[in-house]
Amino acid sequence: MSAPIRVATRPIPGQKPGTSGLRAKTRVFMQPHYLENFVEAVWAGLGGIAGKTLVLGGDGRYFNDRAAQVIMRMAAASGASRVIVGQNGLLSTPAASHLIRTRGADGGVILSASHNPGGKDGDLGVKVNISNGGPAPEAVTARIHAATQALEQYLIVESQDLDLARPGRQRLAETVIEVVDPVADYADLMERLFDFSAMRALIADGFSLRFDAMHAVTGPYAIEILERRLGAEPGSVINAVPLSDFGGGHPDPNPIWAKALHDAVFAPQAPDLAAASDGDGDRNMILGRGIYVSPSDSLAVLAAHAHLAPGYAGGLAGVARSMPTSTAVDRVAAARGLPCYATPTGWKYFGNLLDAGRVTLCGEESFGTGSDHVPEKDGLWAVLMWLNILAATGKSVAAILHDHWAEFGRTYYSRHDYEALDADVAQALIEDLRSSLPGLAGDDAGPLRVSRAEDFAYTDPVDGSSSTGQGIEITFEGGARAVLRLSGTGTEGATLRLYLERYSPDDPSLDPQAALTPVITAVEALTGLTCRTGRTAADVIT
């Protein structure tokens, strides 16, 4: 094996990690030096990797196999002691997080662009996790970004491709490459958290379920857990084989991109529980016979019922939500006497709260829910938590949801995404609204009156770190709310996300979009969104 090669390079603009690592078009990552530059910067951001253990895996999208080989060769060149990689390069994000923790690794690299489309013309991402299993915090991503701007070389070893199809150990230079079963440890963890006996009995009694893996990474996990360990009918997991282009689909578990599953619960012979997960397995959509569960409602329901699962029988230390997520969980926390935190968007902001034992359950409106079992959101975990609740209560999904609204009231909620906007137009809209914030309180906005308007800032209660400019939050008299922010997960133009909510203490039967019409009208009055963007409707409404 030859010595490491020093390859001369120069900084490549635009390699600033976002809330979920670096994302770009797949063809961009395939350009000479692009991936290598960023990986070398990751090593710098982690303080070097000589003598360290890393976990490596991804969702199987196009170019992941090549990227994994490059990353292993670069890890070996920089003196890593061990790289633990999922068989065939596959690891869901929550499984990778769990593996980092159980194996005492110093961090990990996850190859995924989450819910973004795959294939050669799709998207790719490189996400960095630290030793607690959670996403790299801002201090680490700032070091990574700084390193990308000063690179002059990167190190790599020459090698034949390693065989990742067979579990076992092999050597690359002085580095041990350990290929592991990507599913087993994670499935064992789920069996410790939930009452598999009760869920098996429920399914054996005729309860039907359908899980759409969207040709992404959760297929093998769902087959093992739902069909093999819990006894669901073979074929209950659909689109189960991970494909490099996700079968030409969009691996985003929402009513738009998982429309067939959404339609199935409103059709004859609907399953009792239906669910979907995304590209890397950290998001979830929950549905029941005749009903769709919004992610914000799902978080609130799980907070109210988590004690029914063995792993949470002692109760919750507290709950946390991203600021744009609806305040439905806040009402559960208030009723149960639990601390409740609102953080910026991005799972990394939950990490300190989880590690400090301040919260047990976290969630985002973007179909992400999780707990302190791993410091990542976890799609299949959320499905199993719902299944455990259904088994423990004997109720349907619809009954659980309607009983929840009867107890806590209903928070109508929706997110409107305006995708691939002209970046300058989107940025100007946000900046103009931001500049008007100081004088908005007390002003009329269409049919509503503004009670509070601010640019959300967050001070971490654990370490005192602060984050500003995290989204514009406008609250109206009567409790309605709107949030506007530019997303950091797109790879083309700008995505403007508009989050809308309105609380009703005693009328849970309205159509959500109709209930939110006054809030939509108020936002239009404040921003002139239609005229400025040329869009008469959002591209995606969830």
Reported as a single tens digit per residue, the pLDDT across 14-65 is 999 987 789 999 999 999 999 999 999 999 999 999 999 999 999 999 999 9
Reported as a single tens digit per residue, the pLDDT across 255-310 is 989 999 999 999 999 999 999 999 999 999 999 999 999 999 999 999 999 999 99
Query: How many C-beta atoms lie closer than 10 Å to residue 191's C-beta?
Result: 15
> Is 514 in a helix, a strand, or coil?
helix
- Residue labelled with tokens 């490491």: 4
**Residue-range domain boundaries for the chain:** 5-181, 185-408, 410-541
Q: Are 11 and 145 in contact (CB under 8 A)?
A: no
Tokens of 149: 């701007």
Share of the chain above pLDDT 70, in %: 99
Hey, what CATH class is 410-541 in?
Answer: alpha beta
b/e burial code for range 493-503 (CB count within 10 A of at least 16 → b): ebbbbbbbbbb
DSSP β-bridge partners for residue 177: 83, 170
Query: How many C-beta atoms lie closer than 10 Å to residue 48's C-beta?
Result: 12
Band (pLDDT 50/70/90 cuts) for residue 491 is low
Indicate the CATH number for domain 5-181.
Answer: 3.40.120.10
- The span from the first CA to the last CA of the chain, in angstroms, equals 53
Q: Are 359 and 319 in contact (CB under 8 A)?
A: yes
185-408 is classed CATH 3.40.120.10: yes
pTM: 0.93
Model pLDDT, residue 506: 87
CA separation for the pair 484, 349 (Å, rounded): 19
**Equal CATH topology for 185-408 and 410-541:** no
Model pLDDT, residue 467: 87
- Residues annotated catalytic, as ranges: 114
Write the DSSP symbol of residue 63.
T
